[in-house]
Structure 1
Amino acid sequence: MSFTLPNSLAKIRVPRIHHTWANTYQCSPQYYFQPKCLDDIKDIVNNARKFNKKIMVVGSGHSPSDLTIISNPINEWLVNLDKYNKFLNEKTSIDGKYTDVTAEAGMRVYQLNEILESKGLAIQSLGSISEQSLAGIISTGTHGSSQYHGLVSSQVVNLKIINSLGNVINCNSHENPDIFRAATLSLGKIGIIIEVTFRTVPKFQLRSVQEVINLDTLIEKFDSIWTSDEFIRIWWFPYTKKCILWRASKSNEPISLPRKSWYGTFIGRFFYESLLYICVKFLPKLTPFVERFVFSRQYGLIETFNKNGDIAVQNSVDGLNMDCLFHQYVDEWACPLINGPDIIRLLAKSIEEGKKSNEFYVHSPIEIRCSNTTLPLKDADEIDISNRKLIEKGPIYGNTLRPYLDTTPKLNYLPIDKVTNSQLTMYINATIYRPFDYPTDYKCWFHIFEEIMEAAGGKPHWAKNYDETIVTKEKMMEWYGDDLIKWRKVRQQVDPDGVFLSGSAWLERNGIVEDSIIEQKSKSEIIE
């Protein structure tokens, strides 16, 4: 069946090549659309179904893998919702302890943050950046770092999606809960998320303490560190044998900015990236010296743990977001936190051996975070918050349903006043920079990193770079089992025509959709 682009779609077509933020991948779809209203989105879906086209929804492109990369430029369309980004409404609870806000799913998180700030509200927990769309922040399992807070999707009260028939489906804990559990980690394959309702709280400041801690001290104090504050992050700089420990809690204190960042300045940043470029292209052996030099300029070399850390009071967004520095390859895994000390020792040993053999070098920091993705058995609205103070620690859940494809281990829930390391997940984020977009070699280090993480009961972040020789379709079924089968069932239910099966290379490699379904859809394309 031949296809001529209807005038209604021609009006929202933009000539654009899609690429990831880090320029790790790019693709040229047959058409790239930016819809402005619901009718535009329905028109795209209905025409895609009618003419056997496939749709890939993309946002900011911050996923560094090929998750959002099409496989067939003749037959696949990209849909970007940046212009579908209106704030719709808000509904405050009777006691004012939370407010449910609804917005179109193309709104970027930073845009919602600005609107919430003006209304005296805030998202309860954020990831490291706020560039993603609202749909994007939940579709791959975005999380922060806290002993109390889990996936950002646990703050979602309601979703609206469009299925492959062009129909709007409303889903939440009570209405279409199976679709909701699939859509809160959808990978972009459970229809098009068009509307998101978040449970927000009154805005708050974070009082943080940032300290230099020796790696040996970190391992020694590991068990107590992760339950010492509400938000905790660690950045490990292997060649210095030191880390930066950042801990924060809600506060009413006045704003007090952190000390200035050396590589936060234009000169410092450019100098650091230039040094990295020299290392990766000409002289890798310089890498440990560069990393030690940069650490000394940024933080100093004296351990300040429990002594004289840098104190700051910031609004929640500034405190939780961070500077990702340069374009990069990223490999992140989640595993039980109790395995952390052994993992760090093995990684440190491997990094040292790689340096001695000149086989590979790593970049800093290696980010270590935790989350609490265990969930109470009660429905979110049945949890008593009557005695809760406005800046009290912990979440006010939007839902208590675990996404089918949650990468974190299934651990036992304990009340907020009884949290232990045994119920926490550790995330380790290995980063290799691409200074000035140079294609740095990362595969040897990532392979070793993943072998250690997989042996420790870990699973990879869906949107990051990972080794396909370790993360196979068979391994995915072993890890997710019945949950993957249930996710596939929902996917087939909302998309019987395969409209959202774009990016077959990624799908096949990861076993997300059964091979027979991909083959069937591919044959129908050939016939057409």
Structure 2
Amino acid sequence: MPFDQNAHSRWIPYTTDAIAEVSYDPLSDTHIPFRASLNHFHQNWAHIHSSRPQLFLRPQSIEELRLIVILAGKCQKRVTVIGSGHTPNALTCTPGWMVSLDDFQEVLKVNEDTREITVQSGIRLYQLHRVLDGLGLAMPNLGTISEQSISGAISTATHGSSLHHGLISDDITGLTILLSNGDLVKCFRDGTTDPKIFDENDGLSLFRAALVSLGSLGVITSITFQARKAFNLAWTQTLHPHIDVITHWNSQIFGAAEYERVWWYPYTGKALHWSAAPTTLPPTPSPPSWFGTTIGYHINQLMLLTTVYFPSLTPLAEKAMFYMQYGYHLHSSAKGTVTGVSVSVEAMSMNCLYRQYVNEWSIPLSAGPEFLHRLQSWLLGKRYDVHKIPFDNTVSSTRVYAHSPIEVRPSYPALDHRGEEFRPYLDTHQKGEPSLYINATLFKPYGKDIPGREKFYEVFEWLMKEYGGKPHWAKNWTTLSKRDFRSIYGQDLEKWVEIRRRVDGNGVFLNDFVKLYLEDGNGDGELDEVEGMFGEKGGEKPVEKEAKWKGKQAVRRLSDESDVTMTASSGSLRGSLLAGSYEHLRASETEMSFMEVEGPPPFAEL
């Protein structure tokens, strides 16, 4: 259909009438679809954070995604991209425009010789596993779950449980990202981009920044990663007293197998050590699991719920749950050991059971024994001279308790990925040495918070800082500030912020999370998000409420030095937007300046 001034008129209160101009594609002589919906309620899987975005958008093509991004910039709206919503903190929450990539789940290219595969960024990991399995391939490294999208997993620095593998993003060889100006940029591991973004002398890598982007650089649209041949894992799981884990930390516990982890149970004096190595043996039947039965699942949750109202029962409940899960089949052998063979995905995954708070940090692997000893001593109420933690173990005269297990996982990038040129700027690994990720999970039985959560996490984070800890970007840490992150990441954070500002000059992707913890904003170029809906053009009656522009409005300063609102002719606007560029707004004969204004957004002429 030809150009229609009333195209997408339903959305004018949210986008202004700019939507007709921006959505028109002269090549096809049609308007690009704008797939939006209202009244969407977003809540993360843990049911901790939620938000109601003004618009919920689900594009089905790059053109539709570009339309959203460009419109957002014009309408002073911020864009937040979501995947599965498994991030337990507020990273994905927004009152602005929320974009789902659930229709970006295609496999784009498979190179059978190199085992490289290119997929759209919205594909869930469990969907990707099925695709890879059909090709006789597998991902070399996985986190605990596979419900998240691949772009969400890499954007928040998801890691595995291995001293031979680092972040999941270590296996990424290239990615494509849509920037706020509409440019689609390909990024490669060697730091180059197509088209070129930075000068070589800048020493900046968009690839390294995008590997852990926190969703605030642009929209990652596709990812190319290195798979490996499908493999099974022969695993061994052994129950140890805490003292044995500490004693054999660097010999039998960590470093002996490709994949390893420990589940630490504070109230039983026991720890479960799991290790696995690739094998050609076929999978064996899974051992019985109390947690895996319907009755076990609910009885355990009921016991946890009881401790919400009677916290002092926590150690007893934890011991009961431990022995119901492990008592029978582990103690049936002399050494308390169970072995088996599983497909790699099944072996590396874990059932998270109930909704939960998750607080995970990395510290040097060598500091692990001392950290666990001090934390456990504090939880058990031992003397200060034992744990040296300057916090009382009570809240309103009630002891503070934790849930089990405390998950302990080693991680270290492969030898050919340890150089600075390969590491993301916001890498959560310790620099120059193996890392230990320690995860303190607190369940929410039937949606109820346990008492003392804030105190326990305050102590946990204080102790992490004692050992130079780095928090996981997607978890529920509570005591950190901008100053902390600047201290932790130093020049790496400065470079990441510089890149973020240069590729998103008006802050379309600058989410509240990043503003709160990592940067103060973009200065004069940053948009101040318009809330609510826009008034009807030329009418006296506002739609809902008329938004006020409270930030700095971009204007052109012409040769006669007069200030006018930024406008562009329909022809040049259409052509340049479809080309994915704002160069017509940065013409050499004009000079951009900013002036403080207040009033309706100046979109009448767009």
- TM-score under structure 1 normalisation? 0.87
2:352: which partner in 1? 324
Q: Which of structures 1 and 2 has the larger relative contact order (alpha carbons within 8 angstroms, sep 6+)?
A: 1
The question of whether the paired residues in 1 share the 8 Å contact of 2:505 and 2:526 is answered with no
Rounded Cα–Cα distance in structure 2 between residues aligned with 1:253 and 1:519: 59
- Correspondence for 1:33 among 51, 57, 70: 57
Q: Which letter does structure 1 place at the counterpart of 2:63? A: D
The question of whether the paired residues in 1 share the 8 Å contact of 2:161 and 2:411 is answered with yes
Rounded Cα–Cα distance in structure 2 between residues aligned with 1:360 and 1:521: 44
Rounded Cα–Cα distance in structure 2 between residues aligned with 1:308 and 1:299: 9
- Correspondence for 1:110 among 118, 126, 131: 126
- In the TM superposition, what whole-angstrom CA distance separates every residue of 1:341-362 from its partner, at most 9, and x where no partner exists? 1101111111112489633110
- In the TM superposition, what whole-angstrom CA distance separates every residue of 1:9-51 from its partner, at most 9, and x where no partner exists? 5434364211111000000010011111111111110110111
Root mean square deviation, CA, Å:
2.3
**Superposition pairs for residues 369-380 of structure 1, below 5 Å?**
369-373=409-413, 375-376=415-416
The question of whether the paired residues in 2 share the 8 Å contact of 1:375 and 1:402 is answered with no
| Residue 63 (str. 1) matches residue 87 (str. 2) | yes
| Residue 453 (str. 1) matches residue 464 (str. 2) | yes
- Correspondence for 1:99 among 111, 115, 134: 115
Secondary structure of the residue aligned to 2:205 is: helix
Rounded Cα–Cα distance in structure 1 between residues aligned with 2:133 and 2:157: 24
Q: 104-113 or 348-357: which moved more?
A: 348-357
- Correspondence for 2:406 among 362, 366, 381: 366
Secondary structure of the residue aligned to 1:330 is: strand
Question: Hey, which bits of structure 1, 4+ residues long, moved more than 6 A?
Answer: 301-306
Q: Give how far 1:327 is off.
A: 0.3
Q: Which letter does structure 1 place at the counterpart of 2:424? A: P
- Correspondence for 1:407 among 428, 436, 444: 428
Rounded Cα–Cα distance in structure 2 between residues aligned with 1:517 and 1:61: 30
1:513: which partner in 2? 519
2:435: which partner in 1? 425
- Correspondence for 1:23 among 40, 44, 47: 47
1:207: which partner in 2? 234
1:141: which partner in 2? 157
Rounded Cα–Cα distance in structure 1 between residues aligned with 2:356 and 2:369: 26
The question of whether the paired residues in 1 share the 8 Å contact of 2:108 and 2:120 is answered with yes
Evaluate the alpha carbon distance shift between residue 266 and residue 89 of structure 1 in structure 2; reply closer, same or farther with a 3 A threshold. Answer: same
Q: Give how far 1:509 is off.
A: 2.9
**Superposition pairs for residues 194-273 of structure 1, below 5 Å?**
194-224=221-251, 225-273=253-301
The question of whether the paired residues in 2 share the 8 Å contact of 1:205 and 1:252 is answered with yes
The question of whether the paired residues in 1 share the 8 Å contact of 2:312 and 2:399 is answered with no
- In the TM superposition, what whole-angstrom CA distance separates every residue of 1:60-96 from its partner, at most 9, and x where no partner exists? 11111111112xx3xx100110111111111133xxx
| Residue 83 (str. 1) matches residue 106 (str. 2) | no
| Residue 478 (str. 1) matches residue 499 (str. 2) | no
Secondary structure of the residue aligned to 1:300 is: helix
Identity of aligned residues (%): 36
1:415: which partner in 2? none
Secondary structure of the residue aligned to 1:521 is: coil
Q: Which letter does structure 2 place at the counterpart of 1:167? A: D
Evaluate the alpha carbon distance shift between residue 306 and residue 495 of structure 1 in structure 2; reply closer, same or farther with a 3 A threshold. Answer: farther
Secondary structure of the residue aligned to 1:248 is: strand
- Correspondence for 1:487 among 484, 496, 499: 496
2:574: which partner in 1? none
| Residue 168 (str. 1) matches residue 181 (str. 2) | no
Q: Give how far 1:292 is off.
A: 0.2
Q: Give how far 1:518 is off.
A: 9.2
Evaluate the alpha carbon distance shift between residue 464 and residue 472 of structure 1 in structure 2; reply closer, same or farther with a 3 A threshold. Answer: same
The question of whether the paired residues in 1 share the 8 Å contact of 2:44 and 2:86 is answered with yes
The question of whether the paired residues in 1 share the 8 Å contact of 2:121 and 2:150 is answered with yes
The question of whether the paired residues in 1 share the 8 Å contact of 2:263 and 2:271 is answered with yes
Rounded Cα–Cα distance in structure 2 between residues aligned with 1:264 and 1:518: 55
- Correspondence for 2:169 among 141, 149, 153: 153
Q: 296-305 or 25-34: which moved more?
A: 296-305
Secondary structure of the residue aligned to 1:137 is: helix
> Which residues of structure 2 form unaligned runs of 5+?
1-11, 20-30, 194-203, 382-392, 529-550, 554-596, 602-606
How many residues end up aligned between the 2 structures?
Answer: 484
**Superposition pairs for residues 293-304 of structure 1, below 5 Å?**
293-300=320-327
2:365: which partner in 1? 337
Q: Give how far 1:516 is off.
A: 5.9
The question of whether the paired residues in 2 share the 8 Å contact of 1:213 and 1:303 is answered with no
Q: Give how far 1:250 is off.
A: 0.2
Rounded Cα–Cα distance in structure 1 between residues aligned with 2:400 and 2:224: 45
Q: Give how far 1:306 is off.
A: 9.4
Q: Which letter does structure 1 place at the counterpart of 2:82? A: V
The question of whether the paired residues in 2 share the 8 Å contact of 1:362 and 1:432 is answered with yes
Rounded Cα–Cα distance in structure 1 between residues aligned with 2:455 and 2:332: 34
Rounded Cα–Cα distance in structure 1 between residues aligned with 2:137 and 2:127: 13
The question of whether the paired residues in 1 share the 8 Å contact of 2:35 and 2:59 is answered with no
Which one has a bigger Cα radius of gyration?
2
Q: Which letter does structure 1 place at the counterpart of 2:207? A: F
Rounded Cα–Cα distance in structure 1 between residues aligned with 2:162 and 2:345: 15
- In the TM superposition, what whole-angstrom CA distance separates every residue of 1:395-421 from its partner, at most 9, and x where no partner exists? xxxx9610001121111xxxxxxxxxx
- TM-score under structure 2 normalisation? 0.76
**Superposition pairs for residues 180-199 of structure 1, below 5 Å?**
180-199=207-226
2:3: which partner in 1? none
Q: Which letter does structure 2 place at the counterpart of 1:482? A: Q
Rounded Cα–Cα distance in structure 2 between residues aligned with 1:452 and 1:305: 37
Secondary structure of the residue aligned to 2:295 is: helix
Evaluate the alpha carbon distance shift between residue 494 and residue 431 of structure 1 in structure 2; reply closer, same or farther with a 3 A threshold. Answer: same
The question of whether the paired residues in 2 share the 8 Å contact of 1:14 and 1:33 is answered with no
Rounded Cα–Cα distance in structure 2 between residues aligned with 1:194 and 1:518: 29
